[in-house]
Amino acid sequence: MKVFLSEEEIPRQWYNLAADLPTPLLPPLGPDGNPVRPEDLSPVFPMNLIEQEVSDKRWIDIPEEVLQLLYQWRPSPLHRAVYLEKALKTPARIYYKNEGVSPAGSHKPNTAVPQAWYNKQFGIERLTTETGAGQWGSALSYACALVGLKCKVFMVRISFEQKPFRKLMMNVWGAECVPSPSTETKTGRDILEHDPDTPGSLGIAISEAVETAVADTTGKTRYSLGSVLNHVLLHQTIIGLEAKKQLAKIGEKKVDVVIGCAGGGSNFAGLSFPFVLDKINGAQIDIIPVEPTSCPTLTRAPFAYDHGDVAKMTPLLPMHSLGHEFVSPPIHAGGLRYHGMAPLVSAAVVEGLLTPKAMNQLKCYESALFWARTEGFIPAPETSHAIAAVIDEAVKAREEGKEKVILFNWSGHGLMDLKGYESYMEGRLTDYPLPEEDLQKSLKSIENLPKPKVAKTGRW
Partner 1 sequence: MVRIASSPYEDLETGCPMLGHPVPLRYCLEPGSELPCRRIVLCWQERFDIAGLLREVLTPEQLEELEKAPKQKISQLLELVAKVKKGS
Q: How far is the CB of 66 from partner 1 (least distance, A)?
A: 23
DSSP H or E stretch at residue 419: helix 418-425
Site membership for partner 1, residue 263 (CB under 8 A): yes
Q: CB-wise, 123 or 433, nearer to partner 1?
A: 433
Cα 145 from Cα 142, distance rounded (Å): 5
Site membership for partner 1, residue 133 (CB under 8 A): yes
Q: How far is the CB of 323 from partner 1 (least distance, A)?
A: 16
* Interacting residue with partner 1 among 81, 156, 170, 233 (CB under 8 A): 156
Number of helical H runs and strand E runs in the chain: 17, 13
Task: Classify the C-alpha dihedral 361-367-370-373 as positive or negative.
Answer: negative
Q: CB-wise, 183 or 331, nearer to partner 1?
A: 331
Stretch 429-448 residues interacting with partner 1 (CB under 8 A): 431-434, 438
Stretch 339-358 residues interacting with partner 1 (CB under 8 A): 339-340, 343
Q: CB-wise, 90 or 346, nearer to partner 1?
A: 346
Site membership for partner 1, residue 13 (CB under 8 A): no
Stretch 57-86 residues interacting with partner 1 (CB under 8 A): none
User: Of 111, 48, 116, 138, which is closest to residue 413 (Cα–Cα)?
Assistant: 138
DSSP 122-152: TT--EEEEEESSSHHHHHHHHHHHHHT-EEE
User: Of 261, 208, 209, which is closest to residue 239 (Cα–Cα)?
Assistant: 261
In sequence order, the 6+-apart residues with CB closer than 8 A to the CB of 347 are: 21, 23, 25, 311, 312
Stretch 311-340 residues interacting with partner 1 (CB under 8 A): 312-313, 328-340
Site membership for partner 1, residue 223 (CB under 8 A): yes
Stretch 273-312 residues interacting with partner 1 (CB under 8 A): 291-297, 300-301, 304-306, 312
Burial group, residue 140, by CB count within 10 angstroms (0-12, 13-18, 19+): buried
Q: How far is the CB of 81 from partner 1 (least distance, A)?
A: 25
Q: CB-wise, 29 or 82, nearer to partner 1?
A: 29
Q: How many residues bind partner 1 (CB under 8 A)?
A: 83
Site membership for partner 1, residue 229 (CB under 8 A): yes
- Contact string 22-51 vs partner 1 (x = CB under 8 A): ------xxxx----x---xx-xx-------
CB atoms within 10 A of CB 131: 29
CB atoms within 10 A of CB 70: 23
